[in-house]
Structure 1
Amino acid sequence: MKKALLITSTIMMCLSCCAQQKINIGLKQQLDSILASDQGIREFVDTETSEARKDQLAKALGYSKEELKKKAWSLMNKIDSANFKKVESIVSKYGYPGKSLVGEPANTAVFFVIQHTPSQISKYYPLIEKAGKEGELPFENVAMMLDRKLTGEGKLQIYGTQIYSVQITNPKTGQKEFFEYVMPIEDAKNVNKRRKEAGFKLSVEENAKRFGIIYKAYTPEEIKKITNP
């Protein structure tokens, strides 16, 4: 009996080792670094990020906090460009580096870098979609990229993830102000059902509120009248 238990234990250990060996540690570390820089610079410019957290982010990103405060947006472009070159090379070698290859959250790194490189979304969306359907990437990421792809093409989004801000003249006051809105959605009345199916935890209304926006289901015609009266 003891011998049988020993054999069973040995088999389980071997299976566990094999499972761990599937993760490409070197690639995972590279993607973790890419993800940290992509998200870190964006967290730094978030108005809700505390000064203490900004100190941590500046150190992690390799800049002084003062330098980041002055040049954050230009540095973001620099980081995004450098990250895309790395991602392009990774994808050409491995295809989409998903959960089974690099674990989580490293499997989202390529998604975020491409999402932040709008000119490349149409090219890489099929790869992202395939990764989502195969369970290698959370499907809500696929939904976000689809929405960005569609709105970039002047079409209606599906999941209500894309928000836009444009300066307009208030017709009542004559003053310049920013108009922020959730971009028009296809079949808007069923958007929350689609969001839930895609894996989103927040409704379109709740998501808009995170950005200080009261959600309204605008049509393209209504947006045109507001922005070009």
Structure 2
Amino acid sequence: MKRTFLIVLLIASMAATALAQSIGEASAKYDAKEYKASGELYEKAFAKGAGSTTDYYNAACSWALAGNKDKAIANLQLAVDRGYINLSHLKQDTDLNSLHGDNRWKTLVQNLEKKVAALEANYNKPLKAQLEKIYQTDQEVRRKISTVQQEHGPNSPEMQALWKEMSETDDINKKAVVAVLEEHGWPGISLVGPQASSAVFLVIQHSDKQTMEKYLPMLKAAAEKGEAAKSQVALMEDRVRMNNGQPQLYGSQLRMNNDTEQYELHTIEDEANVNKRRAEMGLEPLEEYMKRFGLDYKVPQAGPAN
């Protein structure tokens, strides 16, 4: 009986990993501009039970770029039905431009506008505005990094000035966000909306070890209620573990190897099952994540059971 139970768990683990890989493959096809193939891979994954709100939205983008308006609209509607509410992004996303003349697009946008208006009626709007401004300052300085490094070099005076600017911005944002957390608890999506809520995560994730450790339990509690993304929990938990010299769980944290001067993954606990844990937290397969950094990676196979 015990052996049968272990086999069932193994099969379930393999299935979850396969589904996560299917979504990752669909995303990779999109990146390669093979939009029809991307849409088809999303459909196969959805048929097997995979798919988050974001996945359905991304599938819609693939189908729109492939010229299939029917499937694009259908996947957009599924994304909205599952909770997609980022109206401003929807309207500005150039991937969906081909749908704008379709009456179904107009109806979907109008219905989403009504849904968002109803949600925002319950928002703490002053707090939302404050946090969205913090979000912009956090991201604005970080968007400069790549350009400054390419133009002036990583050790240039310009780069040092940017690091100083980032540190000062992070200190200001941290003081503001900690004050919000102490007064309101973790400001969830239903209180301030997704972007403003994400601002809190970003600021704490960019802060010191003690601050992350203090507010990680609050973030976990919010995620359990659907008020924050599980992926945010994964990233912060990995960073806290790394800062404490422990193996990470989800493979989100890289470090510089001083000998090779190349980035590499910080040690992962139970690495063979990392993609199962990533899928549970709404993260893409680690192989796809590493491609973002120009690195090839393959999850090691589990050793034989004792």
TM-score (norm 1): 0.71
Give, in angstroms, the shift of residue 206 of structure 1.
1.4
| Alignment partners' CA distance in 1, 2:161 and 2:150 | 18
Equivalences for residues 1-12 of structure 1 within 5 A: none
Q: Partner of 2:275: helix, strand, or coil? A: helix
Q: Could you tell me which runs of 5 or more consecutive residues in structure 2 were left unpaired when the two chains were aligned.
A: 1-114, 152-156, 301-306
Q: Partner of 1:193: helix, strand, or coil? A: helix
Aligned residues: 180
Aligned with 2:214 (options 99, 105, 123): 123
Corresponding residue of 1:77: 167
Give, in angstroms, the shift of residue 109 of structure 1.
0.8
Give, in angstroms, the shift of residue 69 of structure 1.
5.6
Instruction: Confirm or deny: 8 A CA contact 2:148 2:159 kept in the other structure.
Output: no
| Alignment partners' CA distance in 2, 1:25 and 1:134 | 21
Aligned with 1:186 (options 269, 273, 297): 269
| Structure 1 residues 68 and 36: CA distance shift in structure 2, 3 A | farther
Post-superposition Cα deviations, 1:114-133, rounded to whole Å, max 9, x if no partner, equal 10013211111111111111
| Alignment partners' CA distance in 2, 1:129 and 1:18 | 27
Q: Partner of 1:105: helix, strand, or coil? A: helix
Aligned with 2:139 (options 24, 30, 39): 39
Instruction: Confirm or deny: 8 A CA contact 1:96 1:131 kept in the other structure.
Output: yes
TM-score (norm 2): 0.54
Give, in angstroms, the shift of residue 140 of structure 1.
0.2
Give, in angstroms, the shift of residue 92 of structure 1.
1.1
Post-superposition Cα deviations, 1:20-65, rounded to whole Å, max 9, x if no partner, equal 33101111111011111111211210359999xxxxxxxxxxxxxx
Equivalences for residues 155-170 of structure 1 within 5 A: 155-168=246-259
Post-superposition Cα deviations, 1:134-184, rounded to whole Å, max 9, x if no partner, equal 11111100010010111111111110000001321xxxxxxxx40320111
Aligned with 1:148 (options 228, 239, 264): 239
Corresponding residue of 1:21: 121
Corresponding residue of 2:228: 137
| Structure 1 residues 137 and 205: CA distance shift in structure 2, 3 A | same
| Structure 1 residues 216 and 139: CA distance shift in structure 2, 3 A | same
Percent of aligned pairs with the same amino acid = 37
Give, in angstroms, the shift of residue 217 of structure 1.
6.2
| Alignment partners' CA distance in 2, 1:42 and 1:27 | 23
Instruction: Confirm or deny: 8 A CA contact 1:43 1:49 kept in the other structure.
Output: no
Give the letter for the 1:138 counterpart: A
| Structure 1 residues 68 and 29: CA distance shift in structure 2, 3 A | farther
Give, in angstroms, the shift of residue 18 of structure 1.
6.5
Instruction: Confirm or deny: 8 A CA contact 1:164 1:181 kept in the other structure.
Output: yes
Post-superposition Cα deviations, 1:66-111, rounded to whole Å, max 9, x if no partner, equal x976621110000000000000111111111110100111111111
Q: Could you tell me which runs of 5 or more consecutive residues in structure 1 were left unpaired when the two chains were aligned.
A: 1-14, 52-66, 169-176, 219-229
| Alignment partners' CA distance in 2, 1:46 and 1:199 | 27
Corresponding residue of 2:280: 197
| Structure 1 residues 182 and 85: CA distance shift in structure 2, 3 A | same
| Alignment partners' CA distance in 1, 2:118 and 2:294 | 48
| Alignment partners' CA distance in 1, 2:116 and 2:269 | 46
Give the letter for the 2:270 counterpart: D
| Alignment partners' CA distance in 2, 1:48 and 1:199 | 32
| Structure 1 residues 22 and 49: CA distance shift in structure 2, 3 A | farther
| Alignment partners' CA distance in 1, 2:162 and 2:179 | 26
- 1:210 aligns to 2:292 (yes or no): yes
Compute the RMSD of aligned alpha carbons: 2.6
Instruction: Confirm or deny: 8 A CA contact 1:23 1:103 kept in the other structure.
Output: yes
Q: Partner of 2:261: helix, strand, or coil? A: strand
Instruction: Confirm or deny: 8 A CA contact 1:22 1:101 kept in the other structure.
Output: yes
